[in-house]
Chain A
Amino acid sequence: MAFTLYSLLQAALLCVNAVAVPHEERFLNKIGWGTDQSFGGLGEEPGIKSQLVNLIRPVRMVMRLLLIVLNSVIIGLLLLFG
């Protein structure tokens, strides 16, 4: 219950890490979440799963560099200040 803005930032960073970590070729295609496999829904009903899959790729592309920087900063802060 004792939330601070810092804990919210940490939680958000961990969530974005979870989106960016799984490898596209080795993992996502194996479980059917790859972007090259879901071109069936060109019609009216995209469905939740294809929306999610189409969300993962741009999020990775945009956040990669930012994630590197933010993760290094947070790791440094955690090492120094606990």
Chain B
Amino acid sequence: EAAVERRAPPPPSPTSAVGAEPSASGGRDGEAMDNSRFRQPAKTRTRGPMHVEGNPSHLFEDTSGNMDPPGAGYEGSSTGFGLSGEGFLSDPVVSNLAMAYGSSLASQGKNIVDQNIDRFIPVSKLKYYFAVDTIYVGKKLGLLIFPYMHQNWEVRYQQDSPVAPRVEVNAPDLYIPAMALITYLLVAGFALGTQSRFSPEVLGMQASSALIWLVIEVLAILLSLYLVTVNTDLTTIDLIAFAGYKYVGMVTGVVAGLIFGRTGYYVALGWCCISIVVFMIRTLRLKILSEAAAEGVLVRGTRNQLRMYLTMAIAAVQPVFMYWLTFHLVR
């Protein structure tokens, strides 16, 4: 019951932030509209699709108000045209019309591209995973390397959707896995360079190997989640995020191996493997196991046993991958 109670009331601070943000962006809107009157139709049209999907501006601060400098630049060049030459475009009315038409064409093109991209890649869902800030990244990296002191692993919910990672440390994000993957590739190139085994194709091979193992792991987890008939709210992107967290440990291991040699590599990798196993078990336990089992009570029944085995298997596979993808980099 304590777990349910913790999830039910939405915390006050993010909702007040939601209330504050739209008024701030509305204020900037009015200011921009005063500066350039003929830009008004273009602005309201580009704002339209964003507000349809339930105001995602609470994830990020709205910095799209600074479209004024290009507008000022255009106005300067148009008056320059008018002053210098004769002809059709020197008439300021015609040039205003031409610029309004051009900007409306550009915004229409942008709308078409946005709609088509949204069909293939869920951009708004992806935005949630990148709504991070420095404090969150620092805390999460600390959690990945030392998860033993953290007590509360639950994700707070806000009106049936998870709170943005910026506010809640336990929420998964895609920023750390993406950065860790790129860092891993750079460190791998560096490590191969110290062994005189480097060539630019090697970087490409490392990248495709790492990405393909990630895809295989996520597909295997999805398949096993389907077979065990688990009703969770783990999305595919969540799984990609969790599978990508092991790159942090890999980078740490390889860097320690570069500085301290083979023993340093083994020590750092061992520590990071154990940390990732504990992190995974504690995070996935809340998502995969049922409520009662997640509290620590031993619930009998094959279904809960299967779920427990699945959690253990997912966690145990991480050190295997971590070793497999890095042992050839350290000599």
Contacts and interface: CB of A to CB of B under 8 A. Distances in A.
Contacts of A8: 212, 215-216
A2 B209 contact: yes
Contact of B302 (A45, A51, A52): A45
A4 B208 CA distance: 6
> How big is chain B's contact interface, by range?
10 to 19
Contacts of A3: 205, 208-209, 212-213
A48 B306 contact: yes
Given A8-B216, A48-B306, A1 B228 contact: no
B226 interface: yes
Contacts, number: 33
Given A3-B213, A8-B215, A8-B216, A48 B208 contact: no
Interface in B229-256: 229
Contacts of B205: 2-4
Given A1-B328, A8-B215, A45 B209 contact: no
Interface in B219-233: 226-229
A8 B227 CA distance: 23
Contacts of A45: 302-303
A70 B129 CA distance: 35
B302 A5 contact: no
Contact of B227 (A1, A5, A44, A48): A48
A3 B216 CA distance: 12
Nearest to A11: B216
Contact of A1 (B209, B215, B229, B303): B209
Given A3-B205, A3-B209, A51-B228, 8 more contacts: A1-B209, A1-B328, A3-B213, A5-B208, A8-B212, A8-B216, A45-B303, A55-B226
Interface of B: 205, 208-209, 212-213, 215-216, 226-229, 302-303, 306, 328
Interface of A: 1-5, 7-8, 44-48, 51-52, 55
25 contacts: A1-B209, A1-B328, A2-B205, A2-B209, A3-B208, A3-B209, A3-B212, A3-B213, A4-B205, A4-B208, A4-B212, A5-B208, A5-B212, A8-B212, A8-B215, A8-B216, A45-B302, A45-B303, A46-B229, A48-B227, A48-B228, A51-B226, A51-B228, A52-B227, A55-B226
- 5 shortest A-B CB distances, which residue pairs? A3-B209, A3-B212, A51-B227, A8-B212, A48-B227
